[in-house]
Amino acid sequence: MTTAAVLSTTSDATTSEAGAPPVLELEAVTLRRNGKELLGGVDLRVRQGEHWAVLGSNGAGKSTILSLCGAQNHPTSGTVRILGHQLGRIDVQTLRRMIGHVNPRHTAGASLTVEQVVLTGLTGSADLPRRWEPTPDEASRVHELLARVGMATRAGERWPTLSQGERGRTLIARALVGRPGLLLLDEPTTGLDLAAREQFLAAVDDVVAEDPTASTVLVTHHLEELPRTTSHAALVRGGVLVAAGPVDEVLTSELVSAAFDHPIQVGRLNGRWHATSA
């Protein structure tokens, strides 16, 4: 099988909601570092209410794309618009506070409780600033989110005592506490066992189901780690977006095999994807 025969990019890949405004736009984006091209000519548009998965092998460029989506990086050329703001024309700290980010490698203050970790999503810090206090509305929002992710009974527990799965669910609440217009999930099930992974993905699905305007972008290299609510997918290989569009059109055996340069059989059961060597 020749790779070129199956690679394709879906045109205007994000039309699931007619008239829904875009929350993320990458146009002809190229990123180079130390003379090496990490991304080449990436085009991607995510609309309000869409839930994207970005997949590819290790080193394909997934995390690099997510760094642009989170205003952590700037393109060498091309345009990146996030929540209507163009990178390079807005203070990045202001923009980052408008984006929720779930990163399993997040480091929280060892003395913080679950509730306090979620509150740091409002301050944008690893620890709580001295003499800072949340408003009654902010405190109520924290309790509401902890209930939604199944962590209400653990609100007073210290961060170091939590399991990896409990930390993951806490980080979802932390990312959402500021009511972001865009939620990014960076390989969020890294280090989770099977049960913890399923609990985490169920929490993602529950959060999405309660807010039809939410937009998410999740990066992973495992199809089994995709939430049921995934609506769109993009496949990355060698820094190039080789396929993008509605999830059922992109996550096919042919396209996934080409993106990973290995024969892969893709299946779906009860709304969840799985992959085996063909």
- pLDDT 10s digits, 9-41: 444 443 444 578 899 999 999 999 988 999 999
How many other C-beta atoms can be found within 10 angstroms of the C-beta atom of residue 171?
A: 24
If asked whether residues 115 and 222 sit together in one domain, one would say yes
Inter-residue contact 6 to 258 (CB < 8 Å): yes
Q: For residue 87, is it within any domain?
A: yes
pLDDT in tens, 188-206: 998 889 998 998 999 899 8
If asked whether residues 45 and 165 sit together in one domain, one would say no
If asked whether residues 114 and 28 sit together in one domain, one would say no
If asked whether residues 108 and 34 sit together in one domain, one would say no
pLDDT in tens, 193-239: 999 899 899 989 988 888 888 899 999 989 999 999 999 999 999 99
If asked whether residues 149 and 189 sit together in one domain, one would say yes
C-alpha–C-alpha distance, residues 78 and 88, integer Å = 11
Which residues make beta-bridge pairs with 53?
218, 233
If asked whether residues 104 and 214 sit together in one domain, one would say yes
pLDDT band at 6 (very low <50, low <70, confident <90, very high): very low
If asked whether residues 89 and 106 sit together in one domain, one would say no
If asked whether residues 228 and 119 sit together in one domain, one would say yes
Average pLDDT, the chain: 89
Residues spanned by the domain of 37: 20-49+69-96
Tokens of 76: 């060498």
If asked whether residues 83 and 105 sit together in one domain, one would say no
Mean pLDDT, rounded, for 111-140: 90
Q: For residue 14, is it within any domain?
A: no
Q: What is the pLDDT of residue 18?
A: 53
When mean pLDDT is compared across 2-11, 29-38, 157-166, 183-192, the lowest value belongs to 2-11
Q: For residue 250, is it within any domain?
A: no
Tell me the DSSP string of 89-143.
SS-HHHHHTTEEEE-TT----TT-BHHHHHHHHHHTSSSPPTT----HHHHHHHH
Inter-residue contact 80 to 86 (CB < 8 Å): yes
If asked whether residues 187 and 86 sit together in one domain, one would say no
Q: For residue 247, is it within any domain?
A: no
Q: Can you give the CATH number for the domain in which 172 is found? A: 3.40.50.300
When mean pLDDT is compared across 21-25, 107-111, 116-120, the lowest value belongs to 107-111
Q: For residue 272, is it within any domain?
A: no
Indicate the number of domains in the chain.
2
Q: For residue 271, is it within any domain?
A: no
Comparing CA positions, the residue from 211, 240, 241, 15 lying closest to residue 100 is 211
Q: For residue 116, is it within any domain?
A: yes
CA atoms within 13 A on the CB side of 237: 18
Structural Rg of the chain based on CA atoms: 19
pLDDT band at 124 (very low <50, low <70, confident <90, very high): confident
pLDDT in tens, 134-153: 999 999 999 999 998 999 99
If asked whether residues 110 and 161 sit together in one domain, one would say yes
| b/e sequence 218-246, b meaning 16+ C-beta within 10 Å | bbbbebebbbbbbbbbbbbbbbbbbbbbb
Is the pLDDT confidence value at 174 over 60? yes
Comparing CA positions, the residue from 171, 15, 178 lying closest to residue 98 is 178
Q: For residue 176, is it within any domain?
A: yes
If asked whether residues 138 and 217 sit together in one domain, one would say yes
Percent of the chain clearing pLDDT 70 (strictly above)? 93
